[in-house]
A = this chain, B = another copy of it.
Amino acid sequence: ATHRIAVIPGDGIGTEVVPAGLRVLEAAASAFGFRLDYEQYDYASADYYTKTGTMLPDGWFDQLNQFDAIFFGAVGWPDVVPDHISLWGSLLQFRRHFDQYVSLRPVKLLPGITSPLAGREPGDVDFFVVRENTEGEYSSIGGKIFEGTDRETVIQETVMTRTGVDRILKYAFDLAQSRPKKHLTSATKSNGISITMPYWDQRVEAMAQNFADVAVDKYHIDILTANFVLHPDWFDVVVASNLFGDILSDLGPACTGTIGVAPSGNINPERKFPSLFEPVHGSAPDIAGKGIANPIGQIWSASMMLDHLGETEAAAAIMTAVEDVLAVGGDTLTPDIGGTATTQTLGDAIRRQLETN
């Protein structure tokens, strides 16, 4: 099989970790006998914005829509372009227009990575955050009135549709059902956010009727964040609205010490449009250009991409290689996880491990 991949490195360390991810993908392709056809694009970056005044060219939709998936680095460079412009001008457009309504983010304690939580061991924590990725709190509807006066008032609307809520819940329930624990946790805030969140709860209850074998609980987002810290072992699949999922999928990796290595998939499960795979970390202006960014978030995202494309064995082999290299540890690791290596050295170690395994 041949998979067509659009590669968009974006900004900052995105341009450093994407090449490491590609080398691992190529090794996986030769080892497992499939082909990858890439095309690389320089848009969705601050450089492109500086040159053209926009984040994306006309015709980006048709261009990217020909691919099976998008392999994405990171976007955002606030010194050059405000984040809400760079993000709404690129990544958030992809999510919305390619209807990547699932953001899937694993939270897993890996060997060799120190968790900030006392006494937690690899194996203790292993769950998914399933985030709604196209609507909810990330609408851009609203505006400002009485601008510049004391009466200035700003309004922004949260929009939830039955279609949007039900399909993310269905995805999350299916995922929970496929796992040994069959446990789904819903993130809500129906005690305070009085219209949209009670609606979310209702739809969870309705969907649960179709999944009698899945154990369901719900927590308000405030205590849920507390429980991520206090009881990360409680969770299996956590489903959340766009904003709550955004929060939980940074907090979860922080609790497992993996904020710099966590991956994510922005998925259109029906494969009607290309899905996009990217590390959870951003462009990291503070370390960009030094060649020391941890490539594991990008490589783990590559594994998720292969999984989505049906190359499940290759996907698993990449993760085994990552875990093997982490378990050995030492100098081969990048500074953020206790080593002294460059992006390229760690990336190559994982690639070689994959070839050897």
- The smallest C-beta distance from A98 to any residue of chain B, in angstroms, reads 17
In whole angstroms, what is the CA distance A5 to B157 when docked? Answer: 39
Pick the residue among B196, B221, B250 that contacts A223 (CB under 8 A). B250
Pick the residue among B82, B151, B222 that contacts A162 (CB under 8 A). B151
In whole angstroms, what is the CA distance A244 to B254 when docked? Answer: 18
A144 at the B interface (CB under 8 A) = yes
A138 at the B interface (CB under 8 A) = yes
Interchain CB contact under 8 A, A222 and B196? no
- A229 and B243 contact, Cβ closer than 8 Å, known pairs A117-B117, A195-B156: no
Query: Which residues of chain B are near A254, meaning CB under 8 Å?
Result: 225-227, 229-230
- A193 and B138 contact, Cβ closer than 8 Å, known pairs A160-B154, A249-B222: yes
A178 at the B interface (CB under 8 A) = no
Query: Which residues of chain B are near A250, meaning CB under 8 Å?
Result: 222-223, 225-226
Query: Which residues of chain B are near A119, meaning CB under 8 Å?
Result: 118
List 14 extra interface pairs beyond A142-B196, A222-B250, CB under 8 A.
A84-B190, A117-B229, A142-B157, A149-B162, A150-B163, A151-B162, A153-B160, A155-B159, A189-B243, A226-B253, A226-B254, A226-B259, A229-B229, A230-B254
Pick the residue among B159, B161, B229 that contacts A116 (CB under 8 A). B229
A255 at the B interface (CB under 8 A) = yes
- The smallest C-beta distance from A139 to any residue of chain B, in angstroms, reads 9
Interchain CB contact under 8 A, A153 and B161? yes
In whole angstroms, what is the CA distance A247 to B189 when docked? Answer: 10
Interchain CB contact under 8 A, A192 and B243? yes
In whole angstroms, what is the CA distance A87 to B220 when docked? Answer: 13
Query: Which residues of chain B are near A226, meaning CB under 8 Å?
Result: 250-251, 253-254, 259
- A194 and B140 contact, Cβ closer than 8 Å, known pairs A116-B230, A251-B225: yes
A78: nearest residue on chain B (CB-CB)?
B191
Query: Which residues of chain B are near A149, meaning CB under 8 Å?
Result: 162
Interchain CB contact under 8 A, B192 and A92? yes
A163: nearest residue on chain B (CB-CB)?
B150
In whole angstroms, what is the CA distance A162 to B149 when docked? Answer: 8
- A196 and B259 contact, Cβ closer than 8 Å, known pairs A118-B116, A225-B250, A254-B230: no
